[in-house]
Structure 1
Amino acid sequence: MRLSSEVTKVAFDDSDHILTVELVNQLDGNISNLTCNHVIWTTSVGYLKENFQKIFSSEPDLIHQKQSSIENLGFGTANKVILVYDAPISFWPDNTADLHPLISVNQTKYSLNKGERAFLTEQNVDPSQAQFVLDGVLCVSPSVSMRFVIVWIVGEAALAAESFNELVLAYLCHNIFLSRYLNGAVDNQKPSRAIMSYWNKNRFERGSYSYLSVRASLDDRDRLRQSYTPDGIPRVVFAGEATHSHYSSSVHGAYESGINAVQILRQYLETASDCR
């Protein structure tokens, strides 16, 4: 196992029938190579969009096989803000499981008041950007016993939220969003922390889920899932949620795709062993 190492190149040697994988150590910058018979590739579509052609630059057939599908598939972001409280939350209604904002197409969810705008300005946050993020809240889920509330922010608003600090996130999600939906019941209990995921900022992810864009089809998922077989043998086997034909955009889809990739190699190795 190689920790803190980034794969920067994968090349197939058709004379020796072997893969060479180039690694860059993220701690000291040292470059090393390892050789192997097979690779299971599990990175996100967002990462592939930025790095696929560079990493597999010596494999034009592989690029031809998958590049259009990588471009066609969409890749979005859903971030969650976890509001952490020092004591079990007391403000959540007993008869409410989750909050899901419902508004008309031409309506915004909030109109920031003077005090809220002043606070955001003090934090060097554009109030219109804060408004945009609040409009991107998809749902809110509590966990009373665990003392936290999860706020899901999606789409372009999720990207904008990644520029806000912990104080601003707590203010937007608790003081404004929850206060208005729960009619001020949250005023006597404030979060001690606001922890957020940064899926788009992470250069190894660039988002959190794939989807079928207007120019994509299920065939693109099938092509992305196809193994690279330069010598008739599955040398690079692809997995990840985007390759799943039924459960894309999900953790269980990603898990099942990994199991499928292992089974592809296992089946090949068992067959090759029987032929010896």
Structure 2
Amino acid sequence: MRSSAADYPDIAASADLGGSVLTGINGNPLGVIARQLGFPLHKVRDKCPLYLPDGRPVDPDMDGRVEAAFNQLLDKVCQLRQVIADNVPHGVDVSLGMALEAFRAAHGVAAEPEERMLLDWHLANLEYANAAPLADLSMAFWDQDDPYEMGGDHCFIPGGNSQFVRALADGVPIFYGQNVRRIQYGCDGVLVYTDKQTFRGDMALCTVPLGVLKKGDIDFVPELPVQKQEAIQRLGFGLLNKVVMLFPFDFWDGRIDTFGHLTEDSSQRGEFFLFYSYSSVSGGPLLVALVAGESAISFEKKSPMENVERVLDTLKKIFSPMGIEVPNPLQAICTRWGTDRFSYGSYSHVAIGSSGDDYDILAESVGDRIFFAGEATNRRYPATMHGALLSGYREAGHIVRAARKRAKKVDLSEKIVVSYEAKDIVQDDNIDLDDLFRTPDVAFGGFSVLHDPSISEPDSASLLRVGIGARKLGSGSLFLYGLIMRKNVTELAAMEGDEQRLSTLYRDFGTKLVGLDGLGDAGESLISRIKASSKK
């Protein structure tokens, strides 16, 4: 390919290599966040012209007939599984693909070549929705989440979904380049081992994709409960790939958001079967080809150059008969989610022998120490971006409840060392710690410190507060606390940037940040002394 980005320096675009569509805007939390942040929403337009392999448009009447027949096949599968559920005590599960093909053959559906190609396109679209070949899907439970689908239009976010990530992560300490190797947990907390350092906490939230859990790249010590391990293996984690192409100009008509392509080979029905036009939302003439089903698997066995050439051949077959020249792309990216070691796939589905119960099992916490979130832990909204977000909200609530429950179990006799301290605590309850932090002993970046007023030795304890989600001290919506030696405060203050300070805090000083309830006896005693001193 001769064209290059260097020849067109003013052409650029943003592209989502992973999730890209808000599937149903009614009640969708991502839609709510978009409105709160002032992000515009672009409705994915309904018009989706389909083209035969030789470039001829599909006859609308035939399209309507075949789509109706496709939906009737799905209805017959639903009827069959109801009969099985009513008459077979322990049930039986087969692949959705097998059942659909059996009914298709029995009723002579799509007997003509063009009809069969069109039916294959609809089957490929179903494989796209589930990120799996139909042969892998459970006939009994593949659509168990259908009753909970978000209604309304499907939408793009102009500029891409990374805008959500940047906005929500603003001010949050994130440690990049840390590959988690082991998670060790017990009654005294959690240790997370990476290839660079160790993080200590009261609890940990695991959000890695199901594919990573299946691969076993993270060692849990002790091992996860057998029930959870079995659910991880039963649930399916499939594949969807993309070819993202930036062109010198929009040759495909940017007034449509999607168009489809049919193939004569049923085994390759998912190869470039659907194209998304992002010209109206990405900032440039961007086109994305989807690869689903078995084709998504074979796609990763070919070189990126070969795959791009195949996409261009497909586009030329569609547009050349219209007299439209297809230029070479300026840039192209081929995803390989199946071999990506941080995902090993795209999103989950209910495989043969699995059910919606496995999503719930995967969502269960372990000992109120290890919590799990992600689309594969959301029974109602799996395989969606909003499902992943909602699972995060769910686990945030669970973590807060677990922390409060643990705090209540602490015996008061262990909290209070002597009766004098107990009296001080009662007397000091009306003193607001936030007020004391308005005039801290030391403040730098998002950190503020109150020293122990009873002793000024370098090894004496100080109370550290860190604002999470804030660019300036005191403006954060969440504060975490820790105990740190006075001499270490000086070292932190001399460093540049809160990210370096946090890394040093965990790695070198062994300080873990917790809520006020998690500071333990030493923390409560220190706070009592600080409050008592403030009254003098």
Regarding TM over 0.5, the answer is yes
- Return the letter of the residue paired with 2:230: S
8 A contact 2:375–2:391 mirrored in 1? yes
Shift in alpha-carbon separation, 1:256–1:138, aligned structure 2, 3 A: farther
Match of 1:82 among 232, 239, 244: 244
Distance of 1:141 and 1:34 partners within structure 2? 42
Query: When the two structures are aligned, how many residues end up with a matched partner?
Result: 233
1:21 match: secondary structure: strand
Shift of 1:38: 0.3
Which runs of 5 or more structure 2 residues have no equivalent in the other structure?
Answer: 1-173, 411-536
Shift of 1:83: 1.2
Distance of 1:186 and 1:172 partners within structure 2? 18
Which one has the largest radius of gyration?
A: 2
Structure 1 residue 156 and structure 2 residue 294: aligned?
yes
Distance of 2:178 and 2:257 partners within structure 1? 42
**Corresponding residue number in structure 1 for 2:386:** 252
TM-score by length of 1: 0.75
1:113-168 deviation line (CA, Å, top 9, x unaligned): xxxxxxxxxxxxxxxxxxx7675223111133420111011133223323444432
Shift in alpha-carbon separation, 1:134–1:168, aligned structure 2, 3 A: farther
Distance of 1:86 and 1:102 partners within structure 2? 26
Distance of 2:308 and 2:369 partners within structure 1? 47
**Corresponding residue number in structure 2 for 1:138:** 273
8 A contact 2:262–2:269 mirrored in 1? no
8 A contact 1:18–1:37 mirrored in 2? yes
**Equivalent residues in 2 for 1:1-276 (5 A)?**
1-14=174-187, 17-25=188-196, 32-51=197-216, 55-56=219-220, 58-60=221-223, 62-87=224-249, 89-92=250-253, 94=255, 96-102=256-262, 107-108=264-265, 135-145=270-280, 146-174=284-312, 176-184=313-321, 185-229=323-367, 234-273=368-407
Shift of 1:275: 6.4
1:265 match: secondary structure: helix
- Return the letter of the residue paired with 1:67: Q
Which runs of 5 or more structure 1 residues have no equivalent in the other structure?
Answer: 26-31, 110-131
Shift of 1:227: 0.6
Shift in alpha-carbon separation, 1:22–1:91, aligned structure 2, 3 A: closer
**Corresponding residue number in structure 1 for 2:112:** none
Shift of 1:188: 4.6
2:379 match: secondary structure: coil
1:42-98 deviation line (CA, Å, top 9, x unaligned): 11111111116x611x324x23131111111011111111111123x133385x542
Distance of 2:388 and 2:306 partners within structure 1? 33
Which structure shows the higher helix fraction?
Answer: 2
- Return the letter of the residue paired with 1:203: R
- Return the letter of the residue paired with 2:342: F
Shift in alpha-carbon separation, 1:182–1:159, aligned structure 2, 3 A: same
Q: Which moved more, 1:179-188 or 1:192-201?
A: 179-188
The CA RMSD over aligned residues, in Å, is: 2.4
1:217 match: secondary structure: coil
Q: Which moved more, 1:209-218 or 1:43-52?
A: 43-52
Distance of 1:190 and 1:165 partners within structure 2? 17
Shift of 1:183: 4.2
Which structure shows the higher strand fraction?
Answer: 1
Shift in alpha-carbon separation, 1:10–1:135, aligned structure 2, 3 A: closer
Distance of 2:254 and 2:373 partners within structure 1? 42
